């Protein structure tokens, strides 16, 4: 293993370092040429950038990556793969200058995919041709265009593609595929080095010539690692999941954009500000934080792919299912962001018009359509949780006895747990507004679900098969997974809202229940255009503490200093009742700090007509 690791690192450095140095040297030259020949992307309504920015950064990426490959001298078949990447670079270059129709692009992508198939690279190595061939075409064309679509915010496509290539290079090195290490390291070095010029604020964009090149090569690497009996792992089926995990973010983005545009009746091929990154910014993150978050998700999904080499394959499938469920929660939440109407999204940000596919689902399942989706999600996580519990209890690969015990009980356990969840009302809640009662109900439901779980295992395999440690681990995992799916919607909503920064910066006077109510109101209603930055409270026990991520920065005596330190525009009084003396003192301190002093209260007003006498309370 030490020899393998040393060889892999040396090969990665031999291909990746020249690519990094090459892109750092070539990109300034391309920027200079772009300004001279007007290769510039000017701001448009359907584009994200606000300043004229140089194009053709793909020229520097391709030149640098090619340098790394040439110096490493991979086998001839990998040079053919590289030729397919250069073909995609060529069609992208033409498209950047004169525009190429979608049919022409697709034709070139199919031709390049044919080159991969002729070398024996296919999705699902060893699968029947009738299945493998269409999946290979779908994979290469889909990922090539997914990376192209991901090039919608500074540094996003280059960073995600570079990380994916790096993970695939490591996977190739650990499975004895030196050609994958060379190609992956060259692509990763060029793409990640390009971030020096492409991360916000970008001085140059890669253009289609860069994104199509990167997309094709990471798609090709995803096919190559599946060769040789599953990349040398002896697990050809499981290895087919590796590229899906490595490229989860481009897949998520393309799926989200395609689905929502189709539902909204908009052309899928047109540009727009409705990608994953745009939705994160719309919901509260800054551009930089949105890109870094997607980097983090890419690394996490890439780490999942590498786990296949170190854990039992059954455990890998279980972890893949849990991660997939988590990404589905993220995707569903982002899909609710109203990016097609002017102004801020109101309420949940749900689209005003019910999409056609959702109308079909509603027609099939009526008002219980959400319950159907919930049952499907819980079935997946319940099964994955029991698998994880067995592996945590016994460690490593399961013995044939324990494996037979697990798979014999799995279907009935999943069915029994879902029935308990349904009886206890877990499919009747609106989970984006979930609170403590829903949490208590979830914990209680998962605890009661262990009773039929124990009954199933004992009934199938005898009382001796029961293990209290397995039941306890299963309860902890399934509770975390089931609660995570439900409270994930609320957690994402609050996390994104806490990072929203439009409008006036306000301090909240009063860190009690009323203060929490005002905080939630301001965070969840962007139309109020106020961003809370902290609390002021008279209780000495609250000083130095935080509530919902906001610090208690002092008492009323510290108000002037706090306003200046935190660049506050307004103080919002949330205490229901203040004496005249306290109000005058607050107003004086706000005047000294030169900030506005307001109060917010909730009142009940009668809706009786003018000729009716309102009921007096």
Nearest to 549 by CA among 520, 525, 521: 520
Give the residue ranges of DSSP H helices in 119-177: 129-150, 156-174
Q: Can you tell me whether residue 181 is helix, strand or coil?
A: helix
Written as one string, the DSSP assignment of 225-260 is TTHHHHHTTS-HHHHTTHHHHHTHHHHHHHHHHHHH
Q: Can you tell me whether residue 546 is helix, strand or coil?
A: strand
Tell me: the pLDDT tens digits for 110-161?
999 999 998 889 888 778 888 889 999 999 999 999 999 998 889 999 999 9
Tell me: the pLDDT tens digits for 188-199?
999 999 999 999
CB-CB neighbours of 38 under 10 Å: 10
Angle, CA 502 vertex, CA 498 and CA 503 arms, to 5° = 120
State the pLDDT at residue 344: 40
Angle, CA 63 vertex, CA 57 and CA 67 arms, to 5° = 145
Backbone φ and ψ of 353, nearest 5° = -95, 130
State the pLDDT at residue 539: 86
Backbone φ and ψ of 426, nearest 5° = -75, -10
Backbone φ and ψ of 593, nearest 5° = -85, -5
pLDDT at 206 over 90: yes
Q: Hey, what are 528's tokens?
A: 């109020």
pLDDT band of 616, cuts 50, 70, 90: very low
pLDDT at 409 over 70: yes
What's the whole-number mean pLDDT along residues 575-586?
83
Reported as type and span, the H/E element at residue 219 is helix 207-224
What's the whole-number mean pLDDT along residues 63-67?
96
What's the whole-number mean pLDDT along residues 589-602?
83
CB-CB neighbours of 435 under 10 Å: 10
State the pLDDT at residue 342: 47
CB-CB neighbours of 296 under 10 Å: 12
pLDDT at 346 over 80: no
According to DSSP, residue 534 is labeled E
Query: Where is average pLDDT lowest: 3-7, 102-106, 258-262, 409-413?
Result: 3-7
487-519 b/e (C-beta count within 10 Å ≥ 16 → b)? bbbbebbbebbbbbeeebbbbbbbbeebbbebb
Cis peptide before 19 (omega within 30 of 0): no
Q: Are 59 and 208 in contact (CB under 8 A)?
A: no
Q: Are 522 and 501 in contact (CB under 8 A)?
A: no
Tell me: the pLDDT tens digits for 556-565?
888 888 888 8
According to DSSP, residue 35 is labeled H
State the pLDDT at residue 550: 84
pLDDT band of 108, cuts 50, 70, 90: very high
- The pTM (predicted TM-score) of the whole model is 0.80
State the pLDDT at residue 259: 82
Tell me: the pLDDT tens digits for 310-330?
888 889 999 999 998 888 878
State the pLDDT at residue 347: 36
State the pLDDT at residue 145: 93
Radius of gyration of the chain (CA): 28
Domains of the chain as residue ranges with CATH: 2-238 (no CATH), 356-497 (no CATH), 501-599 (3.40.50.720)
Q: Are 312 and 397 in contact (CB under 8 A)?
A: yes
Cis peptide before 201 (omega within 30 of 0): yes
State the pLDDT at residue 609: 55
State the pLDDT at residue 617: 38
Instruction: Determine the length of the chain.
Output: 617
Dist. CA 205–CA 535, nearest whole Å: 42
User: 419-424 contacts: CB < 8 A, separation 24 or more?
Assistant: 419/452, 420/445, 420/448, 420/449, 420/452, 421/378, 421/445, 421/446, 421/449, 421/482, 422/371, 422/375, 424/448
pLDDT at 375 over 70: yes
In Å, what is the CA distance from 237 to each residue of 69, 230, 231, 319?
30, 7, 11, 15
Give the residue ranges of DSSP H helices in 53-205: 57-72, 76-98, 102-118, 129-150, 156-174, 178-198
Backbone φ and ψ of 454, nearest 5° = -65, -40
In Å, what is the CA distance from 137 to each residue of 91, 103, 104, 115, 225?
18, 15, 16, 11, 17
Q: Are 218 and 208 in contact (CB under 8 A)?
A: no
pLDDT at 612 over 60: no
Q: Hey, what are 558's tokens?
A: 């510290």
Which is more confidently placed, 320 or 579? Answer: 320
State the pLDDT at residue 187: 96
Tell me: the pLDDT tens digits for 209-260?
999 999 999 999 999 998 765 555 557 778 889 999 999 999 999 998 888 8
Reported as type and span, the H/E element at residue 508 is strand 504-509
pLDDT at 5 over 80: no
pLDDT at 351 over 50: no
Dist. CA 526–CA 534, nearest whole Å: 18
State the pLDDT at residue 521: 82
């Amino acid at each position: 293993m030490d020899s393998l690791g040393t060889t892999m690192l040396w090969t990665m450095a031999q291909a990746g370092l020249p690519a990094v140095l090459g892109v750092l040297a070539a990109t300034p030259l391309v920027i200079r040429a772009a300004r001279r020949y007007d290769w510039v992307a000017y701001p448009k309504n359907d584009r994200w950038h606000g300043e004229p920015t140089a194009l053709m950064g793909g020229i520097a990426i391709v030149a640098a990556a090619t340098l790394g490959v040439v110096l490493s001298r991979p086998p001839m078949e990998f040079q053919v793969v590289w030729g397919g990447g250069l073909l995609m670079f060529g069609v992208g270059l033409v498209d950047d200058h004169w525009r190429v129709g979608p049919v022409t692009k697709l034709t070139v992508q199919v031709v390049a995919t044919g080159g991969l198939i002729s070398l024996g690279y296919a999705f699902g190595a060893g699968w029947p041709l009738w299945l493998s061939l269409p999946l290979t075409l779908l994979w290469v064309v889909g990922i090539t265009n997914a990376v192209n679509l991901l090039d919608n915010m500074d540094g996003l496509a280059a960073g995600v593609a570079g990380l994916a290539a790096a993970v695939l290079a490591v996977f190739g090195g650990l499975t004895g595929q030196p050609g994958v290490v060379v190609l992956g390291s060259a692509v990763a070095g060029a793409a990640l080095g390009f971030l020096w010029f492409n991360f916000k604020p970008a001085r140059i964009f890669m253009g289609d010539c860069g994104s199509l090149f990167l997309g094709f090569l990471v798609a090709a690497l995803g096919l190559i690692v599946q060769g040789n009996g599953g990349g040398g792992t002896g697990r050809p089926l499981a290895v087919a999941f590796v590229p899906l995990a490595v490229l989860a973010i481009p897949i998520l983005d393309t799926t989200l954009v395609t689905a929502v545009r189709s539902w909204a009746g908009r052309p899928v091929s047109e540009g727009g500000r409705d990608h994953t990154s745009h939705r994160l910014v719309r919901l509260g993150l800054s551009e930089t934080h949105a890109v870094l978050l997607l980097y983090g998700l890419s690394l996490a999904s890439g780490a999942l792919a590498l786990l296949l080499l170190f854990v039992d394959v059954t455990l890998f499938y279980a972890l893949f299912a849990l991660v997939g469920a988590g990404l589905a929660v993220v995707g569903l939440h982002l899909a609710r962001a109203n990016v097609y109407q002017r102004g801020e999204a109101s309420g949940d940000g749900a689209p005003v018009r019910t999409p056609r596919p959702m109308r079909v689902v509603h027609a099939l399942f009526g008002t219980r359509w959400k319950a159907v989706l919930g049952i499907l999600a819980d079935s997946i996580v319940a099964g994955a949780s029991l698998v994880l519990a067995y592996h945590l209890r016994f460690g490593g690969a399961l013995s044939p006895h324990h494996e037979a015990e697990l798979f014999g009980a799995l279907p009935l356990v999943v069915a029994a747990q879902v029935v308990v969840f349904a009886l206890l009302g877990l499919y009747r809640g609106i989970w984006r507004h979930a609170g403590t009662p829903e949490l208590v109900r979830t914990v209680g439901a998962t605890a009661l679900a262990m009773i039929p779980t124990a009954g199933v295992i004992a009934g199938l395999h005898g009382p001796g098969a029961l293990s209290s440690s397995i039941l306890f681990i299963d309860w902890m995992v399934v509770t975390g997974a089931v609660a995570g799916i439900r409270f994930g919607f609320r957690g994402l909503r609050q996390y994104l809202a806490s990072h929203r920064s439009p409008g006036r910066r306000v301090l909240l006077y009063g860190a009690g229940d009323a203060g929490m109510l005002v905080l939630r109101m301001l965070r969840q209603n962007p139309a109020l255009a106020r961003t809370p930055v902290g609390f002021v409270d008279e209780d000495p026990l609250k000083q130095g503490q935080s509530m919902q991520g906001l610090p208690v920065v002092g008492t009323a005596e510290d108000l002037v200093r706090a306003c200046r330190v935190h660049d506050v525009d307004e103080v919002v009084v949330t205490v229901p009742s203040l004496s005249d003396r306290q109000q005058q003192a607050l107003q004086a301190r706000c005047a000294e700090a030169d900030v506005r002093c307001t109060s917010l209260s909730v009142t009940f007003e009668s809706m009786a007509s003018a000729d009716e006498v309102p009921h007096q309370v």
